[in-house]
Structure 1
Amino acid sequence: MVVPFPRRAIVRRRRAFALLGTVQATLIFTITVVSVPLPAIGTLWGLTRSELILVSAAYALSFSGLLLFGGRLVDRYGGRRLLLTGLAFFAVASTAAAFSNGFEMLVAARFGQGVGAALAAPAAVAVLHRLYADPASHRRAMARWGGLSVLGATAGILTAGVCTWVSWRYMFAPGIAVAILGLLIAPRLVPRSAPVERPQLDLFAAVLATAGVTLVSYGLVVTDQYPWTDPMVAGPLGGGVLLLLLFIAVEARGRSPLLPLSFLDDTSRIVGLLTIAFAAAGASLITLLLGLYLQQIRDWTPLRTSAAFLPYGITLLLAGRLCRRRLERRGPHGVIAFGLTCAAAGLLLLATLDPSTPYTTGILPSLLLVATGLALAFAGATVLSLAGVQARQAGLAGGVMNTAMEVGPTVGLTMLMAVAAARSAHLADAGAVVATTGGYAWAFGAAGVAFALLAMLVTITDRPRRRPDAAPVAALPASNRLALPAAPRRFTPALDTKPSTKRPIPAATGPSPWF
């Protein structure tokens, strides 16, 4: 039987979760908030299309490229220390971005934001792993955590319209405020955490992974401007793929690999990471193409376009709050499959989009379906991705999960925009408006089919789940237990060590007993 935590410790833990969740949402918010103000920035400094792409992608390039290395730094030096370091980087870079006096300074500041985010994001996951040490509370926390990223992305779109109406420089204010708030409050709420063990840092593998992911991501991003055969695309893509293959070879033989290949030797974790990548790509597709459709085809203002996504954001929030019961009743696989099916239905409805589709009866129902599906899919996928992770790999797990979240939109949008471009070229004789809308509709349709196929894959790979009361909480290491600064010692959770008479208790280092 587990002795309850004191009320003060529970309140402190909830506040810590709220702070870390706000940080995570803000890190994703920073990706999307720049999308709407880009034309105003281009007009101010006379930027070319390639320069605008770099302004938009600079943050995601450094964020995604450094996440694996950032995760291992967290495992070596502790979550709290790297969280504060990442927030400090993020605050300074966001301030520099807000006061940029030219293109070069803005791009450099966006890269700096990504460096800070690559440290703070896996650190937040590692801290949560320590705060919610027992499997049951960790599942519930991760279910809530899963929807924060897509909610942050939507908040970025909503804020972008207001910022464009006032000044694009204000879009960096929320990030500065959250980073400063985190630096002030985190030392009081987040416990000091000595790493369980200090893994060796393979700097050569880190350089290979960072350079490989960054080059591949950049090559995919610039396909919006250059054809696939152009050296500007083929060069970064080819070089990035070679570096990633070399990274895999180095990791397979290394004594202390940056990403142990055994970490991915779990079907459930692979399903969870795939779902995160697909869901992140779907969320990006919705905000990007619907935003373009409403402004370019329907001639809506940026502020009105942002308001159109308000029901979408509210639905994400409400659906995320309903995930816990569904996870307890159906398990992560069932929740993911149901969420992907809902999202697929919404995307397939958008495949009927035309230049005069009404918002209330045509677009809004699709937005509500997609939002519900994405919230459920993210919640279940986060639980699967972090199931059975040991304390010494908590930072690594956070880095891998956030990498999937960053790489998914880059790869997914590139493929779907290629589908849209092919369809638009086919409809060129019908006029620019019809051709563009037809391309968007085909991209939504292709995404809907992909989501439906992934839902089938998740159902096929589902395994019989053990009952929650068979959870092996007894084998948790002492270093994994809750350690809060002001909690009295006598309230250290006492874990039941009595074995079950019905079935053997598996070791805690194996797969999560929930599945």
Structure 2
Amino acid sequence: MSTSTLPAPPAARPGLALATVLTTQLMLVLDVTVMNVALPGIQAELGFSPTGLSWVITAYSLVFGGLLLLGGRAGDLFGRRRLFLGGVAVFTAASLLGGLADSAFWLVAARVLQGVGAAAAGPSTLALITTTITEPAARTRALALFTSMSSGGFAVGLLVGGLLTDWFSWRAALFINVPFGIAVCLLAARFVVEPPRTRARLDLPGALLATLGIGALVYGFNHAATGGWTAAITVLGLAAGLVLLAVFVLVELRTRQPLMPLSLFADRDRAAAYLNFFFGPMAMMSMFYFLTQFMQELGGFGPLATGFAFLPMAGAVFGLSRLVPRLLPRFGPKALTVTGCLLMVAGLAWLTRLSPDTAYFPGLFGPLLLMGLGAGTAFTPLNVIIMASVRPSDAGAAGGVLQTMQQLGTTVGLAVLVTVFGVASRETTGGLRLTTGMTAAFTAAAIIATGTLLVALTFRRKGVTAARQPASSR
């Protein structure tokens, strides 16, 4: 039978503690896309092959996604602040090593190590927010800021990557993590309070099955983007992932202290929120991946201009993080999520009109603004739905599942939409090839986004509000 430590005292400076945790979340998400605009320079300097270059992005997302569940439950058991600090330290050291890399192998190895650190720190960010900010309305505002960091961080990554690559070199996109990582460790050690933790044994069989299963799925989907859906490695990876995850569920049903409590999915609204954290990023990743190519190959944008082009989206997400918490108690999560999903569908549908002559105003600016408004409105209520009623002892696991769904959605979406792009553009050449493939990919993304709308319609009309307390406190 598990026992918990005594409740931790409240943070002396909760605002500073929150800022420290949110900075970490932005840093972790930013590194998913920060290297995108720097890939040509990396390839030229380190001699990556055309197919090997994708591992600069994939190595981080593969390890990050594969270890998130383990990181979430480990934080619950061994101390969230302890794992948070350790993860940030590993991530920071790996960023320094990556910036110093003198070969393709060492850069990929550093990105793998970054993924390990991110998976350790990531789930604890959400759990630390819910335990540090205890007043319901303030917690809702904090979770909204977390959403803005998670959703807007992808766009900010392109901006930061463009700035640093244009002004310095691709190495600066990794070095920039070092001072921020050191500052986070110093501030978190002083101002972030260690929440109560459950003294229990880690579910090692579940940890192994979840890590291998998610890793195999992520690898299979990533390989599908380059090798096709019928390639032996793709089929083997996807099949192995599905089998391992099925066994994982069986193990979790029989385990007394599971890595991923299946009770997290017992609540209808929470299960639907998890599903939308899969579908939403799945649809959105097409925009980051394809529009950066469109801007640089057909629009004549440089890395810096490409990063700034995504400002409308990032600004809308961050702006709504201040507004949505005021609207949520009044309208409830269903109305806001449905509205946000409609805006996302509209933005992606607009992008299906791309042609080689499409100008930034309004052809790109408009869809980017709609996507930013949609993401900020659709995803903020999901964090509240997931975390507002979860037991404190399961907060890390709940955060790990949330980020796992987001990471898997990102990876699966990119693989599916790149494959759609390749099939649609096979018969065309030049600029027409790019826009033809993108039209098909954005059409598929709009269909996926429609799935988020259908899921949002299943939410209860009132749902979870800022006033709802965690189960253990009622």
Scaled to the shorter chain, the TM-score interval is over 0.9
- Please state whether the residue corresponding to 1:451 is helix, strand or coil: helix
Contact 2:342 2:374 in 1 (8 A): yes
Partner residue, 1:343: 344
Partner residue, 2:390: 389
Task: Tell me the distance in 2 between the aligned counterparts of 1:451 and 1:308.
Answer: 22
Task: Tell me the distance in 2 between the aligned counterparts of 1:299 and 1:192.
Answer: 50
Partner residue, 1:452: 450
Answer with 328-337 or 110-119: which moved more. 328-337
User: Map of 1:10-409 to 2, 5 A cutoff?
Assistant: 12-165=13-166, 166-195=168-197, 197-409=198-410
Partner residue, 2:3: none
**What is the CA-CA distance between 1:66 and the residue it aligns to?**
0.7
- Please state whether the residue corresponding to 1:229 is helix, strand or coil: coil
Paired-residue identity, %: 34
One-letter amino acid matched to 1:291: T
What is the aligned residue count?
A: 464
Partner residue, 2:434: 436
- Please state whether the residue corresponding to 1:194 is helix, strand or coil: coil
Task: Tell me the distance in 1 between the aligned counterparts of 2:455 and 2:65.
Answer: 26
For normalisation by structure 1, the TM-score amounts to: 0.86
Partner residue, 2:7: none
Contact 2:21 2:125 in 1 (8 A): yes
C-alpha distance after superposition, 1:91-141 (max 9, x if no partner): 111111110111111111111111111111111222112112344433332
Distance 1:442 1:463, change over 3 A: same
C-alpha distance after superposition, 1:267-304 (max 9, x if no partner): 11122112222232333221111001111222322222
Task: Tell me the distance in 1 between the aligned counterparts of 2:431 and 2:373.
Answer: 30
**What is the CA-CA distance between 1:463 and the residue it aligns to?**
4.1
For normalisation by structure 2, the TM-score amounts to: 0.93
Contact 1:33 1:171 in 2 (8 A): yes
One-letter amino acid matched to 2:448: A
One-letter amino acid matched to 1:335: L
One-letter amino acid matched to 2:420: V
**What is the CA-CA distance between 1:163 and the residue it aligns to?**
2.5
Choose the corresponding residue for 2:459, options 449, 458, 461: 461
Task: Tell me the distance in 2 between the aligned counterparts of 1:140 and 1:321.
Answer: 7
**What is the CA-CA distance between 1:375 and the residue it aligns to?**
1.0
Contact 1:35 1:160 in 2 (8 A): yes
**What is the CA-CA distance between 1:467 and the residue it aligns to?**
7.9
Task: Tell me the distance in 1 between the aligned counterparts of 2:464 and 2:361.
Answer: 44
- Please state whether the residue corresponding to 2:83 is helix, strand or coil: helix
Task: Tell me the distance in 2 between the aligned counterparts of 1:189 and 1:10.
Answer: 6
Task: Tell me the distance in 2 between the aligned counterparts of 1:14 and 1:464.
Answer: 29
Flag structure 2 segments of 5+ consecutive residues without an equivalent.
Answer: 1-9
**What is the CA-CA distance between 1:260 and the residue it aligns to?**
2.0
- Please state whether the residue corresponding to 2:326 is helix, strand or coil: helix
One-letter amino acid matched to 1:173: F
- Please state whether the residue corresponding to 1:37 is helix, strand or coil: helix
- Please state whether the residue corresponding to 1:377 is helix, strand or coil: helix
Contact 1:53 1:221 in 2 (8 A): no
One-letter amino acid matched to 1:377: A
One-letter amino acid matched to 2:449: F
Task: Tell me the distance in 1 between the aligned counterparts of 2:378 and 2:164.
Answer: 30
**What is the CA-CA distance between 1:472 and the residue it aligns to?**
5.8
Contact 1:94 1:113 in 2 (8 A): yes
Contact 1:79 1:123 in 2 (8 A): yes
Contact 1:50 1:222 in 2 (8 A): no
C-alpha distance after superposition, 1:21-46 (max 9, x if no partner): 11101100011111111121112222
Task: Tell me the distance in 1 between the aligned counterparts of 2:463 and 2:104.
Answer: 53
Distance 1:284 1:453, change over 3 A: closer
One-letter amino acid matched to 1:363: L
Contact 1:37 1:163 in 2 (8 A): no
**What is the CA-CA distance between 1:312 and the residue it aligns to?**
2.2
Partner residue, 1:497: none
**What is the CA-CA distance between 1:464 and the residue it aligns to?**
4.1
One-letter amino acid matched to 1:446: A
Contact 2:332 2:461 in 1 (8 A): no
Task: Tell me the distance in 2 between the aligned counterparts of 1:129 and 1:370.
Answer: 27
- Please state whether the residue corresponding to 1:242 is helix, strand or coil: helix
Task: Tell me the distance in 1 between the aligned counterparts of 2:466 and 2:73.
Answer: 31
Contact 1:211 1:243 in 2 (8 A): yes
Distance 1:389 1:468, change over 3 A: closer
**What is the CA-CA distance between 1:334 and the residue it aligns to?**
1.5
C-alpha distance after superposition, 1:421-442 (max 9, x if no partner): 22212xx25x332122011122
Flag structure 1 segments of 5+ consecutive residues without an equivalent.
Answer: 1-8, 478-507, 509-515
Task: Tell me the distance in 1 between the aligned counterparts of 2:11 and 2:121.
Answer: 23
Contact 1:161 1:306 in 2 (8 A): yes
Distance 1:148 1:11, change over 3 A: farther
One-letter amino acid matched to 1:421: G
Distance 1:265 1:109, change over 3 A: same
- Please state whether the residue corresponding to 2:51 is helix, strand or coil: helix
Partner residue, 2:6: none
**What is the CA-CA distance between 1:72 and the residue it aligns to?**
0.8
Contact 2:219 2:237 in 1 (8 A): yes
